[in-house]
Amino acid sequence: MARIGVFTCWCGENIARNVDVEKVAEAIGKLPHVRCSVAYKYMCSDPGQAIMREKIVSEGLTGVVVASCSPHMHLKTFRKAAESEGLNPYVVEMANIREHCSWVHHNKEDATRKAIDLVRMSVAKVLRNHALDPIRVPVTKRALVIGGGVAGIQAALDIADAGHEVVLVERDPSIGGKMAGLSETFPTLDCSQCILTPRMVDVGQHPNIKLHTYSEVEAVDGYLGNFKVTIRKKARYVDMDKCTGCGICWNACPSKKNLSEFDFGMGTRKAIYVPFPQAVPARPVIDANACIKLTKDKCGLCEKKCPAGAINFDDQDELITEEIGAVVVATGYKLYDIGKEQQNDKLAGYGEYGYGKYKDVIDSLQFERIVSASGPTVGEIQRPSDGKEPKSVVFISCVGSRDNAKGVSYCSKICCMYNAKHTMLYKHKVHDGQAHVFYMDIRAGGKNYDEFVRRAIEQDGAQYHRGRVSKITEENGKLIVRGVDTLAGVPVTVEADLVVLAAAMRPADGVEQLAQKLNVGYDEFGFLSESHPKLRPIETNAAGVFVCGACQGPKDIPESVAQASAAAGKVMMMFSRKELTREPEVACVNEQNCAACFACARACPFNAIEQAEIRDRNGNLVKRTARVNPGLCMGCGTCVAICPSKSVDLEGFTEQQIYAQVESLV
């Protein structure tokens, strides 16, 4: 026999002003099953909760309705209170007579009538509530980090240092990501590799980190705490165990003219190569498209020369699976490819800057390699066309950024800073050179950032023009950069030897496909969606999957690192528990009734419904049925609406509860 207690709140004047609270309490008190119906000034206050707790005990209540504010406000509060008296929290419901009634209706009589309806609905519902226990899911205390850039490295190290195993997957032959290719970093101008490579070595040597380079995530199954991840290890043609990284092979390799990915095409590499000297792992990989043996079945020098016999031309892609508890996505960014036609033609443009047409128009990452001591020019600033030292260099901001016409609408955030950095690095190497910057606005928010830009302008004499560049043309060996200075209000023409385009930052290729495998949302640009922009910036809507670094939005190094540590923190939080608990308000299938049409499985936004088989103890198939994985279900109820026979129902919002509410409205 149900015994319901109803507690109506005055909320001071907030409710009582427009709703006759006592009248509500009295009317509700007359309803069947309602054991007690009291009103009090502030139900959420300690004395208020005390009243409720007292009644739960004295009346032996089996269900509670609190008629006060929005459940988004206090449902948790009251459920806790009930729990403290041993009542299952899920038999507590609320009626929203404040936001939905007293605050929006001024006619007291009508408002009171409505309030009574609202409470009656909640009583009708709570009569069909039943005790629910939080869902417990075991955790595999092993993290997968996707992407071995600075963010991925940081996350991996933090988690590993906390004593948990980490599987780090990197698409390229070496970890290090974009940062490994940078020259110096703003705002301190300390050498990028000097600060990063030690961390890379740490990763390589960490007992808790299992490193898969030249590998990609193929498939992800399972759910929070219990993922099964399939990883494709691409054929490397070099036996990692035998190889000592001595370098004889790449010195021997005759195929020289291959553009180096690490140098962003500014330099060349052999067909068998380590992307850069400090690579981790310091083991070479063979570029199958460049290798003479693999393409023409000639040469094979490396194999002959290799003292360890590590070369294996028959190497194949290998698929391995890893058991994982949590995933950190740190796939980073790429640059908007300038001038090129793209599938989404909104992102095509800036052909007028002559990138790809004029050798000496390059992008910022290419410039990083040119100024980098480890670069193809060993830090000598030489322009690509003729190796001359450029005496005048123009840096152009926002190439593709903040441009709804032919680029992306957002600000790429880091360009203002690295432009300033580039002008300085340039000036420090070419003392008689002149750097020009065309910019829309200077966005230098951050510790010591604006000071840094001022230094570029005031000490290193970079010429800043506030305005856009309309066109770049080549006339007798000079690049003619025509733009405007909107502050001076005059058109500006600069004769440059080298032009550097700060192209917009875009998510790395293939991130959408990865997101789909992980059930993580992404925006129109392909940046992964955090589950709340303010309060859950690391979490995603896929439980147990976290994001950090530029794959979530444009970021600089310190931000990426901070977010990476945050993600690591979230993972450790998960791993700190024996098992995880989740809200029990999820869908469940009545397997007796399920006709196994699997419409629900098709519709489920979280792939939380699987096709299961019921077998008798001799293993004969009795029937097939849909089955909800409570570890994955987020409780949207789409399956319930779509199931013709209503063989699936949603706890907390069961058919019985909802129909009871409607039917209470006679």
Position 218 contacts other proteins (CB under 8 A) = no
Stretch in the footprint of other proteins (CB under 8 A) among 238-246, 363-371, 497-505, 640-648: 640-648
Shortest CB 665 distance to other proteins, Å: 5
Q: Residue 88 burial by CB count (10 A; 0-12/13-18/19+): exposed, middle or buried? A: middle
Pick between residue 547 and residue 660 the one whose CB is nearest to other proteins: 660
Other CB atoms within 10 Å distance of the CB of residue 181: 25
Pick between residue 454 and residue 623 the one whose CB is nearest to other proteins: 623
Q: Pattern 137-166, binding to other proteins, x per CB under 8 A?
A: ------------------------------
Stretch in the footprint of other proteins (CB under 8 A) among 241-249, 434-442, 547-555, 586-594: 586-594
Query: Partners of 473 in the beta sheet?
Result: 480
Please check whether residue 94 is in contact with residue 74, taking contact to mean a CB–CB distance below 8 angstroms. yes
Query: Partners of 63 in the beta sheet?
Result: 4
Position 594 contacts other proteins (CB under 8 A) = yes
Position 666 contacts other proteins (CB under 8 A) = yes
Please check whether residue 154 is in contact with residue 557, taking contact to mean a CB–CB distance below 8 angstroms. no
Question: Tokens 């009930």 map to which residue?
Answer: 82
Q: What angle do CA 325, 329, 331 make, to 5 degrees?
A: 150
- 391 to 450, contacts with other proteins by CB under 8 A? 405
Q: Which of 50, 201, 593, 613 binds other proteins (CB under 8 A)?
A: 593
Shortest CB 81 distance to other proteins, Å: 21
Pick between residue 252 and residue 595 the one whose CB is nearest to other proteins: 595
Position 621 contacts other proteins (CB under 8 A) = no
- 78 to 117, contacts with other proteins by CB under 8 A? 96, 98-101, 103-107, 109-111, 113-114, 117
Shortest CB 310 distance to other proteins, Å: 47
- 533 to 572, contacts with other proteins by CB under 8 A? 541
Q: At 319, which amino acid appears?
A: L
Q: Which of 80, 611, 613, 622 binds other proteins (CB under 8 A)?
A: 611
In sequence order, what E strands does 235-314 have?
258-259, 268-269, 272-273, 285-286
Please check whether residue 133 is in contact with residue 588, taking contact to mean a CB–CB distance below 8 angstroms. no
- 252 to 311, contacts with other proteins by CB under 8 A? none
Question: Tokens 């392909």 map to which residue?
Answer: 526
Q: Record the tokens describing residue 551, joined without a space.
A: 């794959």
Other CB atoms within 10 Å distance of the CB of residue 194: 12
Shortest CB 599 distance to other proteins, Å: 5
In sequence order, what E strands does 158-201 have?
165-169, 184-185, 190-191
Please check whether residue 228 is in contact with residue 323, taking contact to mean a CB–CB distance below 8 angstroms. yes
What is the Cα–Cα distance from 123 to 30, expressed in whole angstroms? Answer: 12
Pick between residue 230 and residue 656 the one whose CB is nearest to other proteins: 656
Shortest CB 46 distance to other proteins, Å: 24
The full DSSP string for 607-644 is --EEEEEEE-TT--EEEEEEEE-TTT-----HHHHH-T
Pick between residue 50 and residue 659 the one whose CB is nearest to other proteins: 659
Q: Which of 197, 372, 382, 647 binds other proteins (CB under 8 A)?
A: 647
Stretch in the footprint of other proteins (CB under 8 A) among 65-73, 176-184, 291-299, 566-574: 65-73
Pick between residue 295 and residue 473 the one whose CB is nearest to other proteins: 473
Position 121 contacts other proteins (CB under 8 A) = yes
Shortest CB 470 distance to other proteins, Å: 8
Position 665 contacts other proteins (CB under 8 A) = yes
Shortest CB 511 distance to other proteins, Å: 17
What is the Cα–Cα distance from 33 to 379, expressed in whole angstroms? Answer: 83
With CA atoms as reference, report the closest residue to 235 among 309, 191, 291. Answer: 291
Q: Record the tokens describing residue 49, joined without a space.
A: 């909760």
Q: At 292, which amino acid appears?
A: I
Shortest CB 501 distance to other proteins, Å: 15
- Helix spans in 162-247 (H): 192-205
Please check whether residue 586 is in contact with residue 628, taking contact to mean a CB–CB distance below 8 angstroms. yes
Q: Which of 246, 596, 612, 614 binds other proteins (CB under 8 A)?
A: 596
What is the Cα–Cα distance from 571 to 155, expressed in whole angstroms? Answer: 9
Pick between residue 109 and residue 441 the one whose CB is nearest to other proteins: 109
Position 185 contacts other proteins (CB under 8 A) = no
Please check whether residue 106 is in contact with residue 129, taking contact to mean a CB–CB distance below 8 angstroms. no
Our separate counts of H helices and E strands in the chain read 18, 34
Please check whether residue 330 is in contact with residue 548, taking contact to mean a CB–CB distance below 8 angstroms. yes
Pick between residue 581 and residue 611 the one whose CB is nearest to other proteins: 611
Stretch in the footprint of other proteins (CB under 8 A) among 31-39, 68-76, 129-137, 393-401: 68-76
Shortest CB 42 distance to other proteins, Å: 18
Other CB atoms within 10 Å distance of the CB of residue 405: 6
Q: Which of 72, 80, 388, 454 binds other proteins (CB under 8 A)?
A: 72
Q: Record the tokens describing residue 554, joined without a space.
A: 């444009």
Pick between residue 73 and residue 191 the one whose CB is nearest to other proteins: 73
Q: Record the tokens describing residue 494, joined without a space.
A: 């600069």
Q: Which of 118, 243, 253, 648 binds other proteins (CB under 8 A)?
A: 118
CA dihedral 582, 631, 551, 561 (to 10 degrees): 50
Q: Which of 265, 521, 526, 569 binds other proteins (CB under 8 A)?
A: 521
Please check whether residue 197 is in contact with residue 180, taking contact to mean a CB–CB distance below 8 angstroms. yes
Q: Which of 323, 485, 598, 607 binds other proteins (CB under 8 A)?
A: 598
Shortest CB 120 distance to other proteins, Å: 10
Shortest CB 388 distance to other proteins, Å: 22
Position 13 contacts other proteins (CB under 8 A) = no
Shortest CB 40 distance to other proteins, Å: 21
CA dihedral 108, 114, 118, 124 (to 10 degrees): 130
Count of residues that interact with other proteins, criterion CB under 8 A = 74
- 322 to 361, contacts with other proteins by CB under 8 A? 349, 351-352
Quick one: DSSP state of residue 180? G
- 453 to 492, contacts with other proteins by CB under 8 A? 471, 473-476, 480
Q: Which of 71, 152, 553, 584 binds other proteins (CB under 8 A)?
A: 71
Shortest CB 61 distance to other proteins, Å: 22
Position 646 contacts other proteins (CB under 8 A) = yes
